[in-house]
Amino acid sequence: MNAPARADEAERLARVALCLASEPAEATITRTVAQEGAVAVRQRLLATGRIGGTELKAVSARLRDVEPARDLECALASGLRFVVPGDEEWPTQLDDLQHASDVVEGRGGPPLGLWARGPARLHRLVDSVAVVGSRSATGYGTSVTREMCAATARAGWAVVSGGAFGIDQAAHRGSLAAGGVTVAVLACGADRVYPLAHERLIEHLAQHCAVISEAPPGASPMKLRFLARNRLIAALTRGTVVVEAAPRSGALNTARWADSLSRSIMGVPGPVTAMTSAGVHWLLRHGATLVTNGGEVLETVGAAGEHLTVDVRGPERPLDRLSVRQLQVLDALPAGRPAGLSSIARIAGLAVAETERHLVDLTRNGFAEQSAGGWRVTDYARS
């Protein structure tokens, strides 16, 4: 048996160095690294302080100070690993970020690598959906999220979210409750916990699934890192479901990334009177797909025909089986005292012979009943 593929160690160390010296999603760096490799980019920055036309003095200065081998060793010792392109575990769908346009100018590109804790293998995230939304979610939003994520988990799909309060938390918990794989992508270092109140949840994910980040170990959660993190949630998954989101919420930023990556964008509707659903309704008015449960999520992101939902129109009612002519006769039948054939035919506007034929069928199917005085409609037909 072959050993699993691993990236070149010099390349890995150069990526660690660039990761330590720059902010996540600095597009000039990430895109050039994806094209030319980190070894070349690191050397060029050390030598010239620039990439192409862009001066990156601060990054170059930091590059001189960092000790990637030592930091990587520390990280490994503390249970973190650094997954890079070329590793078997690398989720290759992240490479799509190379050609996605930036949602925030100059911020984008594939991550230099992923710091990860936990047993879940990241290349298995190919069958995954992102479920994100408001931190101040309602009871409605969290309960719909849990059920939806439990359903996707039961179908073998992983749920990716951000570990935050509200919808994120409900997404992780719903998937866990159904025994699924669920991964938190953090804006801070993967060795840290944010928000602090979610320490138990995030440690549980690190024990049983995975917690990942492109920011180096120890990094604090900062605004720009949340925006950068959102693009990873969108890029890792086949589609992003936004459950509840106020206008201008971070979940909409994730949805914009999904759009720029040509991934599916889905939204769960709610009352139009709830501000917590206003951002979702905005998405749904601008091309997102409305989903009401896990089955519909899978139908949207799954392979064609793989997950067909049951038609919501529900079971056929007995009346649906009748022809228009039969309905005309049924409409002409009295509910009380039975009527004669000629009277029924007149009211139905049909010939007597045709009316009689339909009456025989309607009686056989339980819609009409015949007695001495003629025909009348049954309780069954009126139910």
Residues in touch with a second copy (CB under 8 A): 21-23, 57-59, 62, 104-107, 140, 143-144, 222-224, 247-248, 252, 268-273, 277-279, 281-282, 284-285, 289-293, 296, 312-314, 317, 319, 324, 327-328, 330-331, 345-346, 348-351
Q: In Å, what is the CA distance from 322 to each residue of 235, 326, 328, 329?
A: 51, 6, 10, 10
Three-state secondary structure readout of 117-176:
ECCCCHHHHHCEEEEECCCCCCHHHHHHHHHHHHHHHHCCCEEEECCCCCHHHHHHHHHH
Q: Where are the beta strands (DSSP E) in the chain?
A: 50-51, 54-55, 81-83, 114-117, 128-132, 158-161, 182-185, 210-213, 239-242, 264-267, 289-290, 368-371, 374-377
The least CB distance from residue 21 to a second copy, in Å, is: 8
Please say which residue, 93 or 254, places its beta carbon nearer to a second copy. 254
The least CB distance from residue 312 to a second copy, in Å, is: 5
The least CB distance from residue 346 to a second copy, in Å, is: 8
The least CB distance from residue 293 to a second copy, in Å, is: 7
Q: For the chain, report the end-to-end CA distance as a whole number of angstroms.
A: 68
Q: What is the DSSP string of 211-225?
A: EEESSPTT----HHH
The least CB distance from residue 247 to a second copy, in Å, is: 4
- Report how far residue 169's alpha carbon sits from residue 161's, in angstroms, rounded to the nearest whole number: 8
The least CB distance from residue 29 to a second copy, in Å, is: 11
- Report how far residue 35's alpha carbon sits from residue 64's, in angstroms, rounded to the nearest whole number: 23
The least CB distance from residue 2 to a second copy, in Å, is: 40
- Report how far residue 304's alpha carbon sits from residue 210's, in angstroms, rounded to the nearest whole number: 29
The least CB distance from residue 252 to a second copy, in Å, is: 8
Please say which residue, 88 or 102, places its beta carbon nearer to a second copy. 102
Asked if 214 and 104 count as a contact pair (C-beta separation under 8 A), the reply is: no
Please say which residue, 76 or 351, places its beta carbon nearer to a second copy. 351
Please say which residue, 82 or 226, places its beta carbon nearer to a second copy. 226
Please say which residue, 126 or 360, places its beta carbon nearer to a second copy. 360
Sort strands 81-83 and 182-185 into parallel, antiparallel or unpaired.
unpaired
Please say which residue, 116 or 159, places its beta carbon nearer to a second copy. 159
b or e along 65-103 (b: 16 or more beta carbons within 10 Å of the residue's beta carbon)?
Answer: ebebeebbeebeeeebbbbbbebebbbebbeebeebebb
The least CB distance from residue 59 to a second copy, in Å, is: 6
Q: Which residues pair with 59 in a beta bridge?
A: none
Please say which residue, 116 or 348, places its beta carbon nearer to a second copy. 348
